Chains A and B, each alone.
Chain A
Amino acid sequence: MTSVKCFSSWFKEAGRGHMTAFLGWGAMVLYGILMLTRLSFDTEYTFFGIGNTEGIWLCAGLGLFFAFLEFFYLFQQKKQDFYYSLPVSRNIIFWSRYVHGVFHFFVPLILVMMACGLYQAGIDTRFAPFSGSYTGKSILIFAGVFFLFYHMGILCVTVCGHLISGLLVCVGIISYFRILIGMAFVLFASNFFETYYRIPLLEKLQILLSPMMLAKSMGGGGLYRKADILDFVPRGEWIAGLLIWIVLLLFLFTLSHQKRKTESTGQVFVLLPAERVCEIGFAFLAGVWTAGFILDLSGLGKSSRLAGGLLGAAISVVAAAFVHFLLEGIVKNPGAKLLRRKYQLIISCAAAAVVGISFSAGASSYDTYFPEEVAAVGISIDGIGMNYDAYMQAAGDREEYETEEQLEKYVLTEEGRSAALGWLRDIGSAEDVYTRATVCYHMENGTRRYRTYPLTREEVEAFASVYETEEYKRIAYPVVELEDVEENRFTWDDGVMETGLKLTEEDKRALIEAYKADVFDLTMAELAEAPPSGIVRIKSAGNGEVTEMPVYPFFERTCELLNETGTDTGRTLADYPIESVEVRESFLGVPTGESGRVSMSFYEQPEEVDEWKRKLISYELDLQPLLYPLDHSKEIKAVIEDVETNSLIYVDCVQRQ
Chain B
Amino acid sequence: MLQIQNVTKHFGSVCAVNRIYLEIREGQIYGLLGTNGAGKTTLLRTLSGILQPDSGEIYVDGDSLQDGKRKIFYLPDNPYYFPNATMEQMARFYEGQYPEMDRESVRFMAEALELDTKRPLRTFSKGMKRQAFLILALCAGTKYLLCDEVLDGLDPIVAEVMKNLFRQEMKERKFTAVVASHRLNELEDICGNIAILHSGGLVTAGDMRGRSEAVRKYQCVFSESTDVERLIETLKQEADLIRAHVDGCFVTLILRDKEGTVKGALWEKDAVVVKEAPMSLEEIFIAEMEGKDYDIRKVLQQLV
Contacts and interface: CB of A to CB of B under 8 A. Distances in A.
**Do these two chains interact?**
yes
Interface of A: 1, 9, 13, 16-17, 78-82, 84-88, 261-263, 333
Given A80-B50, A81-B80, A263 B97 contact: no
Contacts of A82: 79-80
Nearest to B99: A1
Contact of A261 (B52, B72, B78, B96): B52
Contacts of A79: 80
Given A84-B49, A85-B50, A262-B51, A16 B74 contact: no
B12 A333 contact: yes
Nearest to B83: A17
Contacts of B13: 333
Contacts of B120: none
Between A78, A79, A84, A86, the greatest number of chain B beta carbons within 10 A of the residue's beta carbon is seen for A86
Main secondary structure of the interface of B (DSSP, over half): loop
B74 A85 contact: yes
A86 B48 CA distance: 8
B215 to A, nearest CB: 39
Given A13-B93, A81-B45, 10 more contacts: A1-B99, A78-B80, A81-B74, A84-B49, A85-B49, A85-B50, A85-B76, A262-B50, A333-B12, A333-B13
B46 to A, nearest CB: 10
Interface in B1-26: 11-13
Interface in B85-102: 93, 96-99
B83 A85 contact: no
15 contacts: A13-B93, A17-B83, A78-B78, A80-B50, A81-B50, A81-B80, A82-B79, A85-B48, A85-B72, A85-B73, A87-B70, A87-B98, A261-B51, A262-B52, A333-B12
Interface of B: 11-13, 45, 48-52, 69-70, 72-74, 76, 78-80, 82-83, 93, 96-99
* Residue of B12, B52, B79, B80 with most chain A CB atoms under a 10 A cut-off: B80
Closest 10 CB pairs of A and B: A87-B70, A82-B80, A85-B74, A85-B48, A84-B50, A87-B69, A78-B80, A86-B97, A81-B50, A9-B96
Residue with the highest number of chain B CB atoms closer than 10 Å, among A78, A87, A263? A87
A607 to B, nearest CB: 88
A44 B111 CA distance: 68
Interface centre among B45, B70, B96 (most CB of A within 10 A): B96
Nearest to B96: A9
Contacts of A78: 76, 78, 80
A87 B99 CA distance: 10
Contacts of A88: 97
Contacts, number: 47
A16 B73 CA distance: 22
Nearest to A90: B49
A1 B99 CA distance: 9
B99 to A, nearest CB: 7
A84 B11 CA distance: 18
A193 B152 CA distance: 72
A87 B78 CA distance: 19
Nearest to B13: A333
Nearest to A89: B66
Contacts of A81: 45, 50, 74, 76, 80
A16 B48 contact: no
A256 to B, nearest CB: 15
B140 to A, nearest CB: 10
A262 B50 CA distance: 7
Of residues A9, A81, A261, which shows the largest number of chain B Cβ atoms within 10 Å of its Cβ?
A81
B11 A263 contact: yes
B192 to A, nearest CB: 25
Nearest to A84: B50
Contacts of B73: 85
Contacts of B12: 333
Contacts of A80: 50
A447 B70 CA distance: 62
B274 to A, nearest CB: 52
Contacts of B76: 78, 81, 85
A80 B49 CA distance: 11
Contacts of A333: 12-13
Nearest to B146: A85
Given A79-B80, A85-B74, A263 B51 contact: yes
B144 to A, nearest CB: 12
A80 B97 CA distance: 15
A52 B263 CA distance: 97
A4 to B, nearest CB: 14
A82 B99 CA distance: 17
Contacts of B82: 16-17
Taking each of A88, A261, A263, A333, which has the highest tally of chain B beta carbons within 10 Å of its own beta carbon? A263
Contacts of B50: 80-81, 84-85, 262
A79 B69 CA distance: 18
B53 to A, nearest CB: 11
Nearest to A1: B99
A158 to B, nearest CB: 16
Contacts of A263: 11, 51
Nearest to A81: B50
B5 to A, nearest CB: 21
A6 to B, nearest CB: 9
A50 B79 CA distance: 49
Contacts of A87: 69-70, 72, 97-98
Contacts of B78: 78
Contacts of B48: 84-85
Nearest to A10: B96
A263 B70 CA distance: 22
Contacts of B96: 9, 13
Contacts of B69: 87
Nearest to A261: B52
A263 to B, nearest CB: 6
A1 B93 CA distance: 14
Nearest to A85: B74
Contacts of A17: 82-83
A314 to B, nearest CB: 36
Nearest to B78: A78
Contacts of A1: 99
A17 B79 CA distance: 19
A133 B86 CA distance: 50
A13 B82 CA distance: 11
A323 B11 CA distance: 27
Nearest to B68: A87
Most buried by A among B48, B49, B50, B99: B50
Contacts of A262: 45, 50-52
A9 B76 CA distance: 24
A603 to B, nearest CB: 79
Nearest to A80: B50
Nearest to B148: A81
A9 B95 CA distance: 11
Nearest to B69: A87
Contacts of B11: 263
Contacts of A13: 93, 96
Contacts of B99: 1
Nearest to B85: A16
A1 B70 CA distance: 11
Contacts of A261: 51-52
B217 to A, nearest CB: 41
B14 to A, nearest CB: 10
A80 B48 CA distance: 12
Contacts of A9: 96
A13 B90 CA distance: 12
A9 B45 CA distance: 24
Contacts of A86: 97
Contacts of B98: 87
Nearest to B98: A87
A125 B160 CA distance: 80
B72 to A, nearest CB: 8
A86 B49 CA distance: 9
A1 B97 CA distance: 9
